[in-house]
C-alpha cells in the first residue's frame, strides 16, 4: 500500500474525485495537506462508486466498492487487515453507502481489525431507528468521532450514545487560494458597478433559492445595482432523477419578477479557484436553505473562511457560525426577511465592514492547512494510545 518506513499510513473511505460529490472534494483537500506533514506517508483512498458507475481515479485510489455490492464491503475489510494501513478514516454520509441508510458499511466495520475514526458529515436530531442504529454502532466501534459543529455534540451523546471522550469537534476545512481583490475581480468579470450577492454549490430544491430570488425583487427597488449570482450546476443525483426542472422553475420566476438584469446563473462545475473568486468578489454571501436540521454546510464554511458577510436562514450550522455578529439570520421560507437583512447591509457599509472582520477572524482558523494538523494530531494520539495499550497487555 505504501513504502515500508517509520511514517504512518492512513486510508480514507468515502467518495473520491473525479466523482462530483462534496465529500470527495473534502477528502481530496484534506489529503493534499497531509502531503506536507512529514511523519505521514501520502494517504490512500477506498472509493465508493454509485449506480454501477466507474470513474477515472488516480493512483491514490487503491480499492473501490460498488455502493450496492454488499459482499465487497467485507472483502475490503479483509484486504485492509492484510495491508500495512495503520488507521482508516471513514467519511460518513447515509446516502453514499449501500443498503437501508447505508447499513452495508457495518459489514466492513465488523470485520476490520485496524483502528478507525469516523467523520460524521450529517448528524440528525430526529433519525430513523436504522439511522440511529448505524451511527451508534460506528461511534461504539471507532476510536474517535469527528463532527464539524459544536451543535452536534449533544445529539451524539444523547441520541447516539457516543461517549463524550470520543468526540472531537474539527471545523470543515477551507482551501487557501490566492486571488485578486474584490474590486479587481468585479472588473475582470464585468461587474464593476454592481453589489454582488452570491450563492454557490450544487443546485437542488432544498437550497431555497426561490426565496433568495424573491428577496432580490425588493432589494433592487432601492439598490438597482444589486446582482444575485447563483454559481454551480444542478446536483448530479437531482439531474438524473428530474433533469433541470428546478433550474427552469427558477428561471421562470426570475422572468416573471422582471429580474433578468439582477439575477444570473453560472451553470457549471466550478474549479476551486472559481469558487474562491466567486466568494471574494461578493459583497454578501447568502444561504437561504430550507432545512433546520442541517448541522454542517461546506459552502457556508467557505463563506466564513473568506470573511464574507453572510445572510442565512437559521439552520443549525448557520446559527453556530454566524454567532457573535458574523452575519444575519433571516426566517425560513421568508423572502421579506432575507430582503430586510440584505438591505440593512447594503445601506450600512461600515456595519458590513465590521462584520467582515469578525467573520475573517474565525475563517483564518479554518484553512485546510490548520485542519489537517488537527487530523494528524488525532491520528497520532490514537495510534500512540493503541501501541501503549498493546505493550501493557503484553507485559
Measured distance CA(90)–CA(84) in Å, rounded:
17
Q: Which residues pair with 226 in a beta bridge?
A: 195
CATH 3.40.640.10 fits 182-366, yes or no: no
Which DSSP helix (H) or strand (E) runs through 357? Answer: helix 349-363
State the Cα angle at 234 between 232 and 239, rounded to 5°. Answer: 165
Local structure of residue 229 (DSSP, 8 states): E
Integer distance in angstroms from the first to the last C-alpha of the chain?
A: 31
Q: Is the dihedral of CA 258, 260, 264, 267 positive or negative?
A: positive
Contact 90, 119 (CB under 8 A): yes
Indicate the burial class of 216 (C-beta count within 10 angstroms; 0-12, 13-18, 19 or more). Answer: buried
- Closest by Cα among 16, 42, 20, 19 to 31: 42
Tell me the CA distances in angstroms from 384 to 86, 169, 186, 389, one per residue in order: 11, 20, 50, 9
Same fold? 10-173+367-394, 182-366? yes
C-alpha cell at 302: 467557505
- If you write DSSP's letter for every residue of 195-261 in order, what string do you get? EEEEEES-B-GGG-HHHHHHHHHHHTTT-TTEEEEEESPBPHHHHHHHTTHHHHHHHHHHHHTT-TT
Local structure of residue 172 (DSSP, 8 states): P
Contact 347, 289 (CB under 8 A): no
pLDDT tens track, the chain, 395 positions: 655 578 999 999 999 999 999 999 999 999 999 989 999 999 999 999 998 888 999 999 999 999 999 999 999 999 999 999 999 999 999 999 999 999 999 999 999 999 999 999 999 999 999 999 999 999 999 999 999 999 999 999 999 999 999 999 999 999 999 999 999 999 999 999 999 999 999 999 999 999 999 999 999 999 999 999 999 999 998 998 999 999 999 999 999 999 999 999 999 989 999 999 999 999 999 999 998 888 889 999 999 999 999 999 999 999 999 999 999 999 999 999 999 999 999 999 999 999 999 999 999 999 999 999 999 999 999 999 876 565 445 44
CATH 3.30.420.40 fits 10-173+367-394, yes or no: no
3-class DSSP state of 90: strand
- pTM > 0.85: yes or no: yes
Domain positions in the chain are 10-173+367-394, 182-366
Which DSSP helix (H) or strand (E) runs through 200? Answer: strand 195-200
Amino acid at each position: 500500500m505504501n513504502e515500508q518506513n517509520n511514517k504512518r499510513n492512513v486510508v480514507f473511505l468515502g467518495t473520491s474525485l473525479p466523482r462530483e460529490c462534496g465529500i470527495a472534494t473534502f477528502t481530496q483537500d484534506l489529503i493534499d495537506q497531509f502531503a506536507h506533514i512529514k511523519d505521514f506517508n501520502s494517504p490512500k483512498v477506498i472509493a465508493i462508486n454509485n449506480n454501477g458507475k466507474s470513474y477515472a481515479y488516480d493512483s491514490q485510489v487503491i480499492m473501490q466498492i460498488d455502493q450496492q455490492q454488499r459482499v465487497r464491503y467485507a472483502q475490503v475489510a479483509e484486504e485492509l487487515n492484510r495491508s500495512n494501513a495503520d488507521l482508516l478514516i471513514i467519511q460518513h454520509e447515509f446516502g453514499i453507502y449501500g443498503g437501508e441508510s447505508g447499513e452495508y458499511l457495518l459489514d466492513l466495520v465488523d470485520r476490520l481489525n485496524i483502528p478507525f475514526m469516523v467523520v460524521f458529515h450529517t448528524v440528525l436530531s430526529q433519525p430513523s431507528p436504522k439511522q440511529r442504529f448505524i451511527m451508534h454502532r460506528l461511534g461504539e466501534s471507532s476510536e474517535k468521532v469527528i463532527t464539524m459543529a459544536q451543535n452536534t455534540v449533544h445529539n451524539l451523546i444523547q441520541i447516539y450514545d457516543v461517549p463524550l471522550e470520543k468526540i472531537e469537534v474539527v471545523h470543515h476545512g477551507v482551501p487557501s487560494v490566492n486571488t485578486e481583490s474584490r474590486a479587481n475581480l468585479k472588473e475582470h468579470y464585468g461587474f464593476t458597478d454592481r453589489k454582488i450577492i452570491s450563492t454557490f454549490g450544487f443546485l437542488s430544491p432544498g437550497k431555497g433559492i426561490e426565496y433568495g430570488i424573491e428577496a432580490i425583487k425588493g432589494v433592487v427597488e432601492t439598490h438597482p445595482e444589486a446582482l444575485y449570482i447563483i454559481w454551480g450546476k444542478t446536483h448530479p443525483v437531482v439531474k438524473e432523477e428530474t433533469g433541470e426542472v428546478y433550474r427552469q422553475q427558477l428561471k421562470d420566476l426570475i422572468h416573471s419578477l422582471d429580474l433578468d438584469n439582477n439575477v444570473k446563473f453560472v451553470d457549471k462545475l466550478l474549479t476551486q479557484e472559481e469558487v474562491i473568486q466567486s466568494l471574494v468578489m461578493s459583497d454578501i454571501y447568502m444561504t437561504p436553505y430550507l432545512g433546520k436540521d442541517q448541522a454542517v454546510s461546506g459552502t457556508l464554511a467557505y463563506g466564513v473562511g473568506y470573511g464574507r458577510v453572510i445572510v442565512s436562514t437559521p439552520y443549525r450550522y448557520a446559527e453556530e457560525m454566524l454567532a457573535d455578529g458574523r452575519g444575519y439570520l433571516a426566517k425560513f421560507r421568508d423572502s421579506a426577511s432575507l430582503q430586510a437583512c440584505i438591505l440593512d447591509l447594503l445601506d450600512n457599509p461600515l456595519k458590513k465592514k465590521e462584520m467582515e472582520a469578525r467573520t475573517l477572524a474565525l475563517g483564518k482558523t479554518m484553512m485546510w492547512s490548520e485542519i489537517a494538523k488537527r487530523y494528524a494530531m488525532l491520528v497520532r494520539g490514537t495510534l500512540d494510545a493503541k501501541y501503549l495499550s498493546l505493550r501493557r497487555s503484553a507485559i
